[in-house]
Structure 1
Amino acid sequence: MDRLSLPLTTDRLRLRTYRESDAQAHLPILSREDVSQFLLEDPWTAEVARTEIAKRIPRTGLETESRALALVIETADGLDSIEGSRVLGDIALWFDGDNDSKAEIGWILDPAASGHGFATEAAIAVLNVAFDHYGLHRVFAQMDARNTASAKMAVRLGMRQEAHLRQDWWSKNEWTDTLIFGMLRSDRQVT
Structure 2
Amino acid sequence: MADDVFPHRTARLTLRFHESRDHDDLLRVYRRDDVARYLLEEPWTDEQTSERLAKRITRRTLFDEPHALSLIIEDEQGRYAGDLALWLTDVEHGQAEVGWVLDPGHAGHGYATEAASALLKLAFTRLDVHRVKAEMDARNAASAALARRLGFRLEGHMIEDLYCKGEYTDTFVFGMLARDLPPS
| Bin for the TM-score computed over the shorter chain | over 0.9
Structure 1 unaligned residues grouped into runs of 5+: 77-83
Task: Give the alignment's TM-score, normalised by structure 2.
Answer: 0.96
Indicate which of 160, 172, 175 corresponds to 2:168.
175
Residue 122 to residue 19, structure 1, CA distance change in 2 (3 Å):
same
Partners of 1:3 and 1:35 in 2: CA distance: 29
- Aligned equivalents of 1:99 and 1:175: distance in 2? 33
| 2:141 is equivalent to residue 148 of structure 1 | yes
How many residue pairs get aligned? The number is 184
Retained in 1: the 8 A contact 2:3–2:126?
no
The answer as to whether partners of 2:3 and 2:127 remain within 8 angstroms in 1 is no
Report the CA distance between 1:98 and its aligned residue. 4.0
Give yes or no for contact 1:7–1:15 (8 Å, CA) kept in 2.
yes
> What does residue range 40-59 of structure 1 map to in structure 2 within 5 Å?
40-59=40-59
Amino acid at match of 2:60: T
**Cα root mean square deviation, aligned:** 1.2
Identical columns (%)? 47
When normalised by structure 1's length, the TM-score is 0.92
Amino acid at match of 1:74: E
User: Which stretch has the larger CA shift, 95-104 or 59-68?
Assistant: 95-104
- The residue correspondences of 1:130-169 to structure 2 (distance < 5 A) are 130-169=123-162
How far 1:97 sits from its partner (Å)?
Answer: 3.9
1:186 is matched by which residue type in structure 2?
Answer: R
Give unpaired runs (5+ residues) of structure 2. none
Counterpart Cα distance in 2 of 1:186 and 1:109: 26
Q: 5 Å matches for 1:20-59?
A: 20-59=20-59
Q: Distance in 2 between matches of 1:188 and 1:34?
A: 30
The answer for the alignment partner of 1:85 in structure 2 is 78
Query: In the alignment, what sits opposite 2:103?
Result: 110
Matched, 1:9 2:35: no
1:190 maps to amino acid: P
What's the CA shift for 1:25? 1.5
CA distance in 2: counterparts of 1:184 and 1:3, whole angstroms: 19
Give the letter aligned to residue 11 of structure 1. Answer: A
- CA gap of 1:189–1:133, structure 2 versus 1, over 3 A, is same
Q: Which moved more, 1:153-162 or 1:99-108?
A: 99-108
**Following the alignment from structure 2 to structure 1, what is the Cα–Cα distance between the partners of residues 145 and 181?**
17
Deviating beyond 4 angstroms after TM superposition, the runs of 4 or more aligned structure 1 residues are: none
Question: Would the aligned equivalents of 1:4 and 1:133 in 2 still touch at CA under 8 Å?
Answer: no
The whole-number CA distance in structure 2 between the counterparts of 1:118 and 1:75 is 8
